[in-house]
Amino acid sequence: MTKTVTEILNTKYPLIQGPMAWLTDAKLVAAVCNAGGLGVLGTNAGQNTVTRDATENAERLRHQIHKVKKLTDKDFGVNILTASPDEKIDDDPFMKGFLDVAFEEHLKYYVVVGAPNEAVFQAIKAHDGIIIFRPMTPTIATMVQAEALGADILVATGRDEGGILPAQEYGTFTVVPTMVDAVSIPVLAAGGINDKRGVNAALALGAQGVFIGTRFLATKEAPTAENVKELMIKSTYHDLTQVSASQRSLKTGAAQKLAQDYQQNHDGPKMDEAINALGGLLPAMVKGDVNAGIITSNTGIDLIRDIPTVAELIDRLMVDYKN
């Protein structure tokens, strides 16, 4: 019999906090774990400067892991990015550094985002790890392949999400039941889930849990800049603009210029390069220089109306599941 999500994650609730690049840290991750979900450290967790040194990047992760362990006795996860199915671990020193540190620190949960990479999956399984796999663009073929390679949980992401968007126009309501029907292991829903109604809808569509990023940005424990949190709770869907084929933002000064350029050139990769040159999410969302960068959000931003603690938010999200 297939285990439930809570049995696999050893959590109170079938909820995973998305590993949002720069926008997680030990405080947020531990709060999620203590409130009954699975917290996950992102690739730049707890950081506010860029490093291009893989060893330093890995040691930054280790520091955050140690901080989480001081704040919770619960298990938590780490984000691993895979660029292609055939990439060797040794070919990517940043990925290798993250895996090595996670294995040395005896982490159990790995949110693998990208391609179903057999070498990565095998390495995690060799260290008794649990794999939560989220393809950037969910397809039936990718989900089936990931299950065959040993994934324990899959994440079906709709284009309603924040962050880097799937390449196809599937919304969450479309993609979740499609992927649920294609595999035999648990599927979590991601994309635009900001309140209990989103959680209930995901479960009604056949998902066995939820994978939530954006809504955690506006919590007291999140490392999001305080002025950005305040801006998010005042914003609506109409304050969002498309800045590349795969990214949207609130209408900051930088975002409006990017959106104008994108409307003229329709060159998604070029615009992603321009966003990276600005620093991605770092200048606005972490440092609070609102007009210097982009502020990502899911399309359900209208439903984000306050800044609760993580515990308060999770209690609200899961109230009907709990009852």
**pLDDT single digits (tens) 257-294:** 999 999 999 999 999 999 999 999 999 999 999 999 99
Residue 278 burial by Cβ neighbours in a 10 Å radius (0-12, 13-18, 19+): middle
Mean pLDDT rounded to a whole number for the chain: 97
Look at residues 213, 197, 103 and name the one whose alpha carbon lies nearest to residue 155: 213
Count helices and strands (H / E) in the chain.
14, 10
Q: Can you say whether the dihedral through the CA atoms of 128, 61, 271, 158 is positive or negative? A: positive
pLDDT of 322 reads 86
Cα separation, 286 vs 217, whole angstroms? 11
* Dihedral of the alpha carbons of 165, 169, 171, 176, in degrees to the nearest 10: -90
Averaged pLDDT for residues 22-42? 98
Question: Does residue 226 register a pLDDT over 80?
Answer: yes
Residues for the chain: how many in total? 323
Which band of pLDDT confidence, cut at 50, 70 and 90, is reported for residue 120? Answer: very high
How would you list the strands of the sheet with 187-190, edge to edge? Answer: 15-17, 209-212, 187-190, 153-157, 130-135, 109-114, 77-82, 40-41
How are beta strands 240-244 and 247-250 bridged, if at all? antiparallel
Helices within 205-308 (DSSP H only): 214-217, 226-234, 253-265, 268-278
Q: Are 244 and 272 in contact (CB under 8 A)?
A: yes
Question: Does residue 316 register a pLDDT over 90?
Answer: yes
Distance of CA 130 to the CA centre of its chain: 17
Helices within the chain (DSSP H only): 5-9, 26-34, 54-71, 93-104, 118-126, 140-149, 172-182, 196-204, 214-217, 226-234, 253-265, 268-278, 310-317, 319-322
pLDDT of 89 reads 96
Cα separation, 298 vs 171, whole angstroms? 11
pLDDT of 323 reads 84
Residue 80: in which H helix or E strand, if any? strand 77-82
Cα separation, 87 vs 96, whole angstroms? 11
Which band of pLDDT confidence, cut at 50, 70 and 90, is reported for residue 190? Answer: very high
Find the farthest-apart pair of alpha carbons in the chain and give their distance in angstroms, rounded: 53
Report field, pTM of the whole predicted structure over 0.95: yes
Question: Does residue 54 register a pLDDT over 80?
Answer: yes
Question: Does residue 1 register a pLDDT over 70?
Answer: no
DSSP structure class, residue 222: S
